[in-house]
Amino acid sequence: MKYKIFNTIAFRLTLWFSGIFAVCTSFVFLLFYYLATQTIQNQIDLELTDNASKFSAIIHTNGLMGARQLAILEAQAAGEKLIFFRILYPTGEVFASSRMSYWKDVQVSKTALQKLRSLDLNIFETIEVPSTGQKVRVLYSYVAANAILQTGVAMDVYSKFLSAFQLVFISAMGFIVLFSAVSGWLLVRGALSGVETITKTAQNITGSNLETRVQGTGNKDELDHLAITFNSMLDRIEELVRSIREMSDNIAHDLKSPVTRIRGFAELALVHEETLEDYRVMAANTIEESDRLLDMINTMLTISRAEAGEADFTLKTVNLSGMIREACDLFTPLAEDKHISFSNIIENEIFVFADIRMLQRAFSNLIDNAIKYTLEGGTITIIASMENQTALIKIKDTGIGILPEFHEKIFERFYRIDSSRTSSGTGLGLSLARTIVRQHKGDIHVSSYQNKGSVFEIRLPINNPMVI
Residue-wise pLDDT for 334-379, tens only, equals 999 999 999 999 998 889 988 888 899 889 989 998 998 898 989 9
Q: Please indicate, yes or no, if residue 212 is contained in any of the structural domains.
A: no
Task: Determine the pLDDT at residue 97.
Answer: 86
Nearest to 283 by CA among 269, 297, 295: 269
pLDDT digits (tens, 9 = 90+) for 274-301: 677 777 777 787 887 777 777 777 777 7
Q: Which of 137, 161, 185 is the last residue of a domain?
A: 161
- Residues 303 and 335 both lie in one domain: no
Side-chain-side CA neighbours of residue 282 (13 Å): 18
Torsion of CA 195, 201, 207, 211, to 10 degrees: -120
Phi, psi of 463 (to 5 degrees): -110, 110
Confidence tier at 398 by pLDDT (50, 70, 90): very high
Q: Which of 278, 307, 336 is the last residue of a domain?
A: 307
Could you tell me the CATH number of the domain that includes residue 442?
Answer: 3.30.565.10
Confidence tier at 444 by pLDDT (50, 70, 90): very high
Q: Which of 134, 161, 188 is the last residue of a domain?
A: 161
pTM: 0.49
- Residues 51 and 134 both lie in one domain: yes
Q: Which domain holds residue 303?
A: 222-307
- Average of pLDDT values for 433-442? 88
pLDDT at residue 458 above 90? yes
372 neighbors 423 (Cβ within 8 angstroms):
yes
Task: Determine the pLDDT at residue 342.
Answer: 92
Question: How many residues are recorded in the chain?
Answer: 468
Q: Please indicate, yes or no, if residue 412 is contained in any of the structural domains.
A: yes
Is 361 exposed, middle or buried (CB count within 10 Å of its CB: 0-12, 13-18, 19+)? Answer: middle
- Residues 111 and 238 both lie in one domain: no
- Average of pLDDT values for 82-88? 88
On average, the pLDDT of the chain sits at: 81
The better pLDDT of the pair 412, 115 is held by 115
Q: How many CB atoms are located within 10 Å of the residue 386 CB?
A: 14
Residues in Cβ contact with 196 at an 8 Å cutoff, skipping those fewer than 6 apart: none
- Residues 454 and 398 both lie in one domain: yes
Rounded Cα distance between 122 and 48, Å, is: 10
Rounded Cα distance between 453 and 397, Å, is: 5
What letter does residue 145 receive in the DSSP assignment? T
Task: State whether residue 455 is helix, strand or coil.
Answer: strand
AA letter at 132:
T
- Residues 226 and 105 both lie in one domain: no
Q: Please indicate, yes or no, if residue 454 is contained in any of the structural domains.
A: yes
Beta bridge partners of 351: 319
- Residues 351 and 320 both lie in one domain: yes
Q: Please indicate, yes or no, if residue 170 is contained in any of the structural domains.
A: no
Please count the structural domains in the chain.
3
Task: Determine the pLDDT at residue 208.
Answer: 64
Could you tell me the CATH number of the domain that includes residue 104?
Answer: 3.30.450.20
Confidence tier at 325 by pLDDT (50, 70, 90): very high
Confidence tier at 456 by pLDDT (50, 70, 90): very high
- Residues 327 and 432 both lie in one domain: yes
What letter does residue 275 receive in the DSSP assignment? S
pLDDT at residue 467 above 50? no
Q: Above pLDDT 70, what percent of the chain?
A: 87
- Residues 283 and 330 both lie in one domain: no
330 neighbors 297 (Cβ within 8 angstroms):
no
Most confident of 161-175, 179-193, 371-385: 371-385
- Residues 16 and 138 both lie in one domain: yes
